[in-house]
Amino acid sequence: MANEPSKYARLQIDGEEGEIELPVYQPTEGTPVIDVGPLAKSGYFTYDPGFVATASCDSDITYIDGDAGILLHRGYPIDQLAEHSNYLELCYLLLNGELPTDKENAEFVSTIKRHTMVHEQIAQFFRGFRRDAHPMAIMCGVVGALSAFYHDSLDIDDPEHRRITAHRLIAKMPTIAAMSYKYSVGQPFMYPRNDLDYAENFLYMMFGTPCEEYKVSPTLARAMDRIFMLHADHEQNASTSTVRLAGSTGANPFACIAAGIAALWGPAHGGANEAVLKMLAEIGDVKNIDRYIKKAKDPDDPFRIMGFGHRVYKNYDPRAKVMQQTCKEVLEELGVEDDPQLKLAQKLEQIALEDDYFVKRRLYPNVDFYSGIIFKAIGIPVDMFTVLFATGRTPGWITQWNEMISGPYKIGRPRQLYGGESQRDYVPITKR
Ligand code: ACO
């Protein structure tokens, strides 16, 4: 980021003398930001619920141009990465800022493989959950609990500890995700296999059993890898901001990522992929689409088209385009091109994209619109969808956390616009 202001904004407040001078910084890409820090000394706060016009940090990792529908990781467009790269290479890029050489890549892949197992005691921890627990509840608990198992890498001021923790998290998340599933269906946990790549290994731990050989389909593994890539990072979204806020207190990284997982769970964020399938099931048939479009447009009806709209993208989400293509490939491989839910989703998308309400508000499909259909086709149960989002998002969370901890940072402590009672005296209960 530019260290010197490119210009100044001057704020004049009615009835007050003088101006407040606010530095304006020019980013390498995107919208300039006004530094409102000097306001604190002038007796005013800024007010921006939902952070609609507020940059919460400076960052060099990911850039989104929501109007143009562009997503760059360390400068590389997501569609190029999705076509030519793979998830672990993207993890390396996010963590280190540059694409790896052959040697660096081989070392990184081997390091991640050596960290995929979880402490044996963690299996005991799983057994404390009810079998019907939501896997996101399990994941929040288990990831938070990792801080009780890996004491040797919890010094957040030591870059080597931070590096090991990043590797551990990226390596262990698929193992924990698959264990959450195995626990819910009462099957034995499957140990990771180092002869498989990242996505193959995940599918093996999900669907393999000790009873027979499980052959991983290369098309499904490639789709899974791409899905992880499409979720890898997305700058300062709600869960990443949660990770940063928790991290700003000096909390350990496992606790911070657990906080991010909790934030991701909501249906307005990572829970949307689960919500899309529930919505498609509720709509049921193409003939009902018009009724649901009407509901979505009715300001008195809380119904929304899930998987549509985005705070930042006011154009087609570039991840949704890749996801749509991946969806077609997966359904073809599985011989279910005629999937009724895919047909329903496509029709819904087409109608919404032509409807004035959606056009005016610039509401387009987001990454979640098609991911659920792919997951369902692969055989992943609906309540695991957000768990897979969390698995894919882990390198983003940990890179963003590391970026913050590596530089000067302050505890995140927003202020408020107070609307409650002014000071008043306590009234004894007999006099109320
Ligand atoms: N269906 C119908 N109308 C919608 C939708 C939708 N999916 N999304 C937004 N709108 C409408 C709103 O009603 C509002 O209309 P109004 O101006 O007449 O009041 C307008 O579009 C702007 O919507 P906001 O809620 O103000 O936009 P915001 O940026 O706060 O919300 C969000 C973005 C939460 C993603 C929203 O679009 C939404 O709820 N979408 C459905 C859930 C979803 O798919 N979430 C996943 C997001 S991507 C991710 O986290 C990976």
Residue nearest atom 37 in ligand 1 by C-alpha distance: 309
For 338-389, how does the pLDDT look when each residue is reduced to its tens digit (9 = 90+)? Answer: 788 888 988 999 998 999 999 999 999 988 888 888 998 899 999 999 999 9
For 146-185, how does the pLDDT look when each residue is reduced to its tens digit (9 = 90+)? Answer: 999 999 999 999 999 999 999 999 999 999 999 999 999 9
239 lines ligand 1 (CB under 6 A): no
For residue 389, the ligand 1 atom closest to its alpha carbon is: 51
352 lines ligand 1 (CB under 6 A): no
The percentage of residues in the chain with a pLDDT greater than 70, rounded to a whole number, is 100
pLDDT at residue 1 tops 70: no
Question: Which of 363, 369, 393, 397 to probe ligand 1 with, by most ligand atoms within 8 A of CB?
Answer: 363
Amino acid symbol at 9: A
Positions marked catalytic = 269, 310, 368
367 lines ligand 1 (CB under 6 A): yes
- Tell me which H or E stretch contains 70: strand 70-73
Distance between Cα 310 and ligand 1 center (Å)? 6
- What's the Cα-to-Cα distance from 340 to each of 233, 280, 418, rounded to whole Å? 31, 10, 51
pLDDT for the residue 339: 81
How many other C-beta atoms lie within 10 A of the C-beta of residue 372? 27
310 lines ligand 1 (CB under 6 A): yes
For 56-111, how does the pLDDT look when each residue is reduced to its tens digit (9 = 90+)? Answer: 999 999 999 999 999 999 999 999 999 999 999 999 999 999 999 999 999 999 99
Please list the residues that pair with 37 across neighbouring strands.
none
Distance between Cα 309 and ligand 1 center (Å)? 5
pLDDT for the residue 340: 86
**Average per-residue pLDDT for the chain:** 94
Which SS3 state, helix, strand or coil, does residue 57 take?
coil
Write out the two tokens for 420. 């409650």
For 199-242, how does the pLDDT look when each residue is reduced to its tens digit (9 = 90+)? Answer: 999 999 999 999 999 999 999 999 999 999 999 999 999 999 99
269 lines ligand 1 (CB under 6 A): yes
293 lines ligand 1 (CB under 6 A): no
Confidence of residue 316 (pLDDT cuts 50, 70, 90): confident
Residue nearest atom 17 in ligand 1 by C-alpha distance: 361
Alpha-carbon distance 16 to 409, whole Å? 33
pLDDT for the residue 261: 97
For residue 317, the ligand 1 atom closest to its alpha carbon is: 48
Residue nearest atom 19 in ligand 1 by C-alpha distance: 299
Amino acid symbol at 403: E
Confidence of residue 2 (pLDDT cuts 50, 70, 90): low
272 lines ligand 1 (CB under 6 A): yes
Alpha-carbon distance 342 to 328, whole Å? 9
Distance between Cα 360 and ligand 1 center (Å)? 13
Distance between Cα 77 and ligand 1 center (Å)? 25
Alpha-carbon distance 387 to 270, whole Å? 9
Going by the DSSP 8-state scheme, the letter that residue 430 receives in this structure is G
Residue nearest atom 14 in ligand 1 by C-alpha distance: 361
Rounded to two decimals, what is the model's pTM?
0.91
308 lines ligand 1 (CB under 6 A): yes
Question: Which of 48, 303, 308, 367 to probe ligand 1 with, by most ligand atoms within 8 A of CB?
Answer: 308
The predicted model gives 295-306 an average pLDDT of: 95
Distance between Cα 317 and ligand 1 center (Å)? 14
pLDDT for the residue 333: 87
pLDDT for the residue 3: 74
For 53-70, how does the pLDDT look when each residue is reduced to its tens digit (9 = 90+)? Answer: 999 999 999 999 999 999
Burial tier of 314 (Cβ tally within 10 Å: 0-12, 13-18, 19+) = middle
Nearest to 367 by CA among 343, 392, 350: 392
Alpha-carbon distance 398 to 298, whole Å? 40
Alpha-carbon distance 397 to 85, whole Å? 20
